Amino acid sequence: MSDVDVALVGLGPTGATLANLLGAYGISTLVLERDTQVYPLPRAVHFDGETMRILQSLGLQHAVQAISRPGTQGMHFVSSTGQTLLVRQGSDHPGPQGHYNNWYFHQPELETLLRQRLAQHPNVHVQLGHEVQGLTADAHGVTLETTDLSNGQTQRHRAQYVVGCDGARSAVRHAIGSDMDDRGLKQAWLCLDVLTHNELPLPAYTVQWCDPQRPMTIVNKTGKRRRWEIMVLPGDDPEQLTQPDFYWPLVARWITPAQATVERAAAYTFHSVLAHTWQNQRLIIAGDAAHQTPPFLGQGMCAGLRDAANLAWKLHAVLSGQAHPDLLLTYGSERMPHVREFIDLAVRLGAIIQETDPERARLRDATFADQGAEIFAFPQPRLGPGAYLSHQPHAGTVAPQFTLSQGQLMDDVIGHRFALLVAAEHAQQVQSSRYPRLCQADVAQLTAELGSPMHQWLAAHQACAALLRPDRYVAGLAHQPAELAELEAWLAALLTPK
């Protein structure tokens, strides 16, 4: 029997990201994955600037940029007559997270990078081709029974915590006993992924084709990769959905069989569900095991990586003896309301594109024509109740990432630590002996020089200092020097085992 601090079940993007973060913290980690290879076909195709920031924290920024492209033109909801109804905002320059707000990619390439990065962490042990058969939790840890699928041999492992990153049919969620809350969207779609032979006159932006006769999504991914997502209608024959005779006529206005090779044609049911319970003592779930969102915002994988970033620093604080295990209870309380906002927005957008009644679609289009095309940005919701100063309205929101005077991105200097951003005129006061906890090595101190974007951000919040958590969410602000004592007391209380 092997003993580890954390066992992860599942090595998709969420599990691989969490494993890399735990590896960076030096936590002994076992990863169990039933498949022996990265799934070779396209699945997720989009992530946002905050997700790139998480990948940056793994040391993968440049490698991921090399396999991705920034989506500078956003996403357009277009009627069957060509009317633009609404637009998810794009940008041709980096956003507040220090990266472009939208990125398109080929999931197998990203998963390969994440797995290659794991090799740099000797404290992370990956067992591919191993399936979890049983989980038994007690007051001190969890016993896992696994099977090596190559030879049928069984093994037992012991972990202090088990995190299920094992997808929609999660065995760990089943062991927790959590039901799923349906947020109102359940619809079958066909995903058609192709490799074009040559450049085609197709939009560079993502199109949500709001045609009541056949709603579709058209995605320009990377290189010659394109995707059509085609809504399945009541009269469609389920046995024919993935046959060329069904899908080629539907996309004929944009592309023909002579212009592309089909990589994958697969029918999916888009869900909008949220697990009621994300943790039961030492069993925890993340990613699709905890939530599933329709793809109309491209936030499914993003939500899983946010789970990983939120959970990693808390596991480290607990396992290193710095914090009480109750800190882990804030993982679910913070993340559930946050991801719910994204799911509910995706459901509302889905209602726009999935309208198949011609008269209601006409009224929809007329309403947008009267008000003009609506432009919206990704929401930046506040976390649910948890580990931050909840009485402060800006605490619990993600902080921007600034470029420092030396040209470095802020997170590269901070690393996997807390950070105190201090206006230059107050920097000397922080160094006083009155704030020993804020001055320890696990808190990076960055000075906001007069006139710098960081200084302007603090001034906009009428603050002289801001304390950031390791996941870059704001723990609290000091609006005047005397309030540094509140940040000092909060951090000392958080990282003092009870």
Place of tokens 């921007």: 400
- The share of the chain scoring above pLDDT 70, in percent, equals 99
H or E stretch including 159? strand 154-164
Q: How many structural domains comprise the chain?
A: 2
Contact criterion met (CB below 8 Å) for 349 and 293:
no
Q: Are residues 176 and 308 in the same domain?
A: yes
Asked whether residue 62 is domain-assigned, the answer is yes
Asked whether residue 404 is domain-assigned, the answer is no
Instruction: Answer yes or no: is pLDDT of 484 > 80.
Output: yes
H or E stretch including 157? strand 154-164
φ, ψ (nearest 5 deg) of residue 76: -115, 130
Q: Are residues 337 and 414 in the same domain?
A: no
Q: How do residues 8-61 score in pLDDT, each as one tens digit?
A: 999 999 999 999 999 999 999 999 999 999 999 999 999 999 999 999 999 999
Place of tokens 């001055």: 439
Asked whether residue 216 is domain-assigned, the answer is no
Closest listed residue to residue 181, CA positions, set 270, 304, 271: 271
Instruction: Answer yes or no: is pLDDT of 432 > 80.
Output: no
Q: 468: which strand partners?
A: 419, 474
Instruction: Answer yes or no: is pLDDT of 197 > 60.
Output: yes
Instruction: Answer yes or no: is pLDDT of 1 > 70.
Output: no
* Domain C-terminal end among 305, 324, 342: 342
DSSP of 63-87: HHHHH-EE-TT-EEEEETTS-EEEE
Q: How confident is the model at residue 400 (pLDDT cuts 50, 70, 90)?
A: very high
Q: How confident is the model at residue 325 (pLDDT cuts 50, 70, 90)?
A: very high
Instruction: Answer yes or no: is pLDDT of 157 > 70.
Output: yes
Q: Are residues 58 and 157 in the same domain?
A: yes
Q: Are residues 316 and 437 in the same domain?
A: no
The predicted pLDDT at position 429 comes to 82
Q: Are residues 415 and 337 in the same domain?
A: no
Contact criterion met (CB below 8 Å) for 329 and 284:
no
Contact criterion met (CB below 8 Å) for 66 and 56:
no
Q: Are residues 64 and 140 in the same domain?
A: yes
Asked whether residue 434 is domain-assigned, the answer is yes
H or E stretch including 175? helix 171-176
Side-chain half-sphere exposure of 387, counting CA atoms within 13 A: 29
Q: Are residues 124 and 44 in the same domain?
A: yes
Contact criterion met (CB below 8 Å) for 13 and 267:
no
Asked whether residue 187 is domain-assigned, the answer is no
The predicted pLDDT at position 300 comes to 95
Instruction: Answer yes or no: is pLDDT of 172 > 60.
Output: yes
CATH of residue 444's domain is 3.40.30.120
Q: Are residues 160 and 302 in the same domain?
A: yes
The predicted pLDDT at position 373 comes to 86
Q: What value does the mean pLDDT take over residues 233-262?
A: 96
Asked whether residue 450 is domain-assigned, the answer is yes
The predicted pLDDT at position 498 comes to 60
Q: How confident is the model at residue 2 (pLDDT cuts 50, 70, 90)?
A: low
The predicted pLDDT at position 185 comes to 87
37: tokens are 């290879």
Count CB neighbours of 474 within 10 A: 23
* Domain C-terminal end among 342, 358, 381: 342
The predicted pLDDT at position 18 comes to 98
Q: What angle do CA 72, 78, 80 make, to 5 degrees?
A: 150
Q: Are residues 415 and 326 in the same domain?
A: no
297: tokens are 């915002």
Q: How confident is the model at residue 431 (pLDDT cuts 50, 70, 90)?
A: confident
Residues spanned by the domain of 326 = 2-70+101-180+275-342
Query: Which residue pairs, CB below 8 angstroms and at least 24 apart, start in 214-219?
Result: 214/250, 215/353, 215/354, 215/355, 215/356, 216/250, 216/251, 217/295, 217/296, 217/353, 218/254, 219/45, 219/46, 219/104
* Domain C-terminal end among 310, 342, 374: 342
Asked whether residue 370 is domain-assigned, the answer is no
Q: How do residues 350-397 score in pLDDT, each as one tens digit?
A: 999 999 999 999 999 999 999 888 888 888 999 999 999 999 999 999
Q: Are residues 162 and 24 in the same domain?
A: yes
User: What does R_g of the chain's alpha carbons equal in angstroms?
Assistant: 24
CATH of residue 27's domain is 3.50.50.60
Amino acid, res. 13: P
Q: Are residues 37 and 175 in the same domain?
A: yes
Q: Are residues 6 and 131 in the same domain?
A: yes
Asked whether residue 215 is domain-assigned, the answer is no
**What is the average pLDDT value for the chain, to the nearest integer?**
95
Sign of CA dihedral 300, 11, 333, 436: negative
Instruction: Answer yes or no: is pLDDT of 492 > 60.
Output: yes
The predicted pLDDT at position 415 comes to 97
